[in-house]
Structure 1
Amino acid sequence: MKSYKAYLIDLDGTMYRGNQVIKEAPAFIQSLRERNLPFLFLTNNSSLTPEQIAEKLNGMGVSCEPAEVYTTSLAAAEYIRRVKPEARRVFTIGETGLIQALQDNQLTVTEEEPEIVVVGIDRKISYEKLACASLAAQKGALFLSTNPDRAIPTERGLVPGNGAITMAISYASGVEPQFVGKPEPLIVELALQKLGCSAEEVLLVGDNLHTDIAAGVRANVDTLLVYTGITTKEDLTGSKILPTYEANHLQEWKFA
């Protein structure tokens, strides 16, 4: 076990399950603070702002500042700033977190001749929004999506996730999207730059083998898989994706 200078930490299944805190989470974050180890909460959730996520965590007893939250919305806005710095007009399918992140980066959310299409979860999706996104992509707009999540678990069962919305646009337009969030390495790479750390200096902590751990592996970051969310020990059997470390819960992690 090596010593790490910073941590990237998943939320759902790692810090909480829905609206219930995972009991080991507050002490784990407190341990990071006591050791002066910087961290970012890394989430595929594009619907909420960092302020809203920080409020939720603090309400659960998990100490968090908005600046310690890095969402796919923030990553998408940063990616646009880097690859198309001259672009200003963006057509967006998404909710508050995505719209605010784009506007905070001096991007105009509009249907008029968009240079970029950005898709996030939108629980008020309409046929007209899908049509506008598809037409813009066909005309050459950069096509970004916050994450490829096929479905979202709810109390009713699995409901369509952002990946389902994105692929409807891709199928209609014939244009492949660029995904920003996990399991793609892009969000991890951008988060590393925000921390000011190299891949070798950071540990990524998460509960999902196929999103969190896969993103870490693709970004050459060591990973800790905790069995408090989606993935079970049995899921590792025969898997090509494997974590650097495993733990039943966060309290089992021993800081080097």
Structure 2
Amino acid sequence: MTVAEKRYAFLIDLDGTMYAGHSTIPHAAAFVARLRELSLPFLFVTNNSSRTPEAVAGHLTDMGIASTAAEVVTSSQCAARYMATSTRGRRVYAIGEDGLKSALQEAGLELVEERPDFVVQGIDRQFSYHKLEMAVRFISEGAEYVLTNPDRLLPSDGRLVPGAGSISGSIREALQAEPTVIGKPCRPIMDYALERLGTDSEVWVIGDNPATDIGAGRAAGLRTALVLTGIATPDNVEELLARSPSDWRPDLICENLAELLARLDV
């Protein structure tokens, strides 16, 4: 069945799928260009909470993947929406970077240093003992702990660096409590992305991480494709899949995005 006979839509990961740090993943630009050529709906869905959608789109465009902010869904946006629609209140203590703080303010939430209703945490490259101490105090006093995403590691310029999940480990260990997780592999970000996508086409989730991208797609009942260009590589893919729940096996495993296009006949 060709693309003319069957319509597809795509929720596409960024880190390790479109780029790694400041390097474009091979075939990424051609993949997106082909989707545009065929008018196939897609959104970029990223667990990375550090950048605004505008900054993400700019980063992609600078690397030759023309994009707009409207095509980007971030875990920060979804976390902000979750808290803004809660009945708990609108006061938030944020551990994170510009992308998270901007999303919170755009959602009408108040950034505070005392008596928050929520403690929200994403990646924060200025994380400190003081921030850990404040988070533990506020959550112990009754604030809800919201985690933008559980990624322990992120691919960056040929190496792996700690992600938001690594920071979260210190907070969880101190409190012996689990956060409300927004990003992949959990449902909130996928439900938000599907709402934004607004299509009745067959939706494929594409990513490089079995523990987040593929898990999220399977949890949402979508088709999934694992590309071996980031966290997963040809050398470690079977080991990673063996550590994942058995029902998180991707529908397709492709060496790269060019192979994925060929296997979907698009």
C-alpha displacement at 1:113, in angstroms?
A: 0.9
Query: Aligned residue for 1:47?
Result: 50
Q: Which amino acid in 2 is paired with 1:218? A: A
TM-score, normalisation: structure 2: 0.87
Aligned residue runs from structure 1 range 86-101, under 5 A: 87-101=89-103
Query: Unmatched 5+ residue regions in structure 2?
Result: none
TM-score, normalisation: structure 1: 0.91
C-alpha separation between the residues in 1 aligned to 2:157 and 2:10?
31
Query: Aligned residue for 2:205?
Result: 204
Query: Aligned residue for 1:143?
Result: 145
Q: Is the 2:11–2:44 contact (alpha carbons within 8 Å) kept by the matching residues of 1?
A: yes
Deviating more after overlay: 13-22 vs 98-107: 13-22
Q: Is the 1:4–1:203 contact (alpha carbons within 8 Å) kept by the matching residues of 2?
A: no
SS state at 2:151 partner:
coil
Q: 1:129 to 1:156 in 2, by over 3 A?
A: farther
Instruction: Tell me whether 1:9 sits opposite 2:16 in the alignment.
Output: no
Could you list the per-position Cα deviations for residues 164-201 of structure 1 after superposition, in whole angstroms to 9, with x for gaps in the alignment? 22121222233311111112232112111111246x73
Q: 1:74 to 1:243 in 2, by over 3 A?
A: same
Could you list the per-position Cα deviations for residues 129-188 of structure 1 after superposition, in whole angstroms to 9, with x for gaps in the alignment? 111111111122111011112234556965432112212122223331111111223211
Q: 1:153 to 1:217 in 2, by over 3 A?
A: same
C-alpha separation between the residues in 2 aligned to 1:155 and 1:38?
29
C-alpha separation between the residues in 1 aligned to 2:155 and 2:26?
21
Number of residue equivalences: 254
Deviating more after overlay: 141-150 vs 200-209: 200-209
C-alpha separation between the residues in 2 aligned to 1:224 and 1:111?
42
Query: Aligned residue for 1:121?
Result: 123
C-alpha displacement at 1:51, in angstroms?
A: 0.8
Query: Unmatched 5+ residue regions in structure 1?
Result: none
Query: Aligned residue for 1:35?
Result: 38
Q: Percent identity?
A: 46
C-alpha separation between the residues in 2 aligned to 1:186 and 1:215?
10
Q: Which of 189, 211, 215 is the aligned partner of 2:191?
A: 189
Q: 1:159 to 1:36 in 2, by over 3 A?
A: closer
C-alpha separation between the residues in 2 aligned to 1:216 and 1:18?
24
RMSD across aligned C-alpha pairs, in angstroms? 2.2
Query: Aligned residue for 1:60?
Result: 63
Q: Is the 1:138–1:175 contact (alpha carbons within 8 Å) kept by the matching residues of 2?
A: no
C-alpha separation between the residues in 2 aligned to 1:63 and 1:40?
13
Q: Which amino acid in 2 is paired with 1:216? A: G
Instruction: Tell me whether 1:225 sits opposite 2:226 in the alignment.
Output: yes
C-alpha separation between the residues in 1 aligned to 2:190 and 2:183?
8
Q: 1:152 to 1:246 in 2, by over 3 A?
A: closer
SS state at 1:31 partner:
helix
Q: Which amino acid in 1 is paired with 2:254? A: A
Q: Is the 2:136–2:171 contact (alpha carbons within 8 Å) kept by the matching residues of 1?
A: yes
